[in-house]
Amino acid sequence: MGVTVATGPDAAPGIGSSAPQPAPHHELTVLATVAHELRGPLTALATSSELLAEDFSHLDPEQVKSMLGAMHRRTLWLQGLVENLLCAATIREGRLQLHRQSLSLVDVMADVQAVVGPLLEQRGQRLRVRMASDLPEVIADSRRLGQVLINLILNASKFGAPNSSIDVTISIRGGTVRVAVADRGPGVSIEQAQRLFEPYYRAPGTAGMGKDGVGLGLSIVKSIVEAHNGQVGVESRRGGGARFWFSLPTVGRTVSAKSHLSIVS
């Protein structure tokens, strides 16, 4: 299988340990990166909204629909970025609160698909979801669990090829539910795998290649999963690409996947 790195309460010592807080000069770099990430979508939103507000009578309905669709996708992306920034600040200050309840990953996955669908469609990518027929419920914060899945799926989208598939597999392993998100991107090296869950880390060679980012998504995934007493990890995918996964303890009740969500979307 190649590279495999896991973190969590039962992971090997030294792997996934808390990274040192960024130094002030690092924070300035992060602020500059955030400003860069915000500028493009905000400029596009301002231009499109100005055009629609002034006079769209010369545009046909399909053009208007296309513009509104693009504005919607950019808004979803901006919402995700802001959510990650707020969550990162909460985690850093030790104020992450979880509103736990017994829930089904089937329902969480359905909500996640509604959010990521338009963003994947923009790149011609398809989300393929496979899950066990009778999944146990988990005790978790629905909103935070959705954030974990969104971050993993959008990370796979960023590094996966256009018009490719992103595979989400939800299975039962002993007393846990394991969720894996796999892509057909460049994969991960041993060095990268050991640092991918650190705050603000970005893999070398990704800057300026359309794969920029703040470097918070995966560290937030790790923090939220471990706050649920779960584990998170990454491994190379046979045939190319990477597979990010997390596991959570289960409770006794089960729910039928087929009655809630189609296997392939």
What is the rounded CA–CA span in Å between residue 41 and residue 78?
8
If 0-12 CB within 10 Å is exposed, 13-18 middle and 19+ buried, where does residue 60 land? Answer: exposed
Q: How many angstroms separate the Cα of 128 from the Cα of each of 109, 168, 182?
A: 11, 6, 10
pLDDT-derived band at 170, boundaries 50, 70, 90: very high
Indicate the pTM of the whole model. Answer: 0.74
**Tokens 């392939």 found at:** 264
In tens, the pLDDT along 87-101 reads 878 888 888 899 999
Alpha-carbon dihedral 215, 217, 221, 227, rounded to 10 degrees: 80
In tens, the pLDDT along 120-136 reads 998 999 999 999 888 89
Give start and end residues of each alpha helix (H) in the chain: 24-54, 61-92, 105-122, 142-159, 190-193, 217-227
Please, what's the b/e burial string for 122-153 (b: 16 or more CB within 10 A of its CB; e: otherwise)?
eeebebebebbeebbbbebbbebbbbbbbbbb
In the chain the domains, ranked by start, together with CATH numbers, are 4-17+100-256 (3.30.565.10), 24-92 (1.10.287.130)
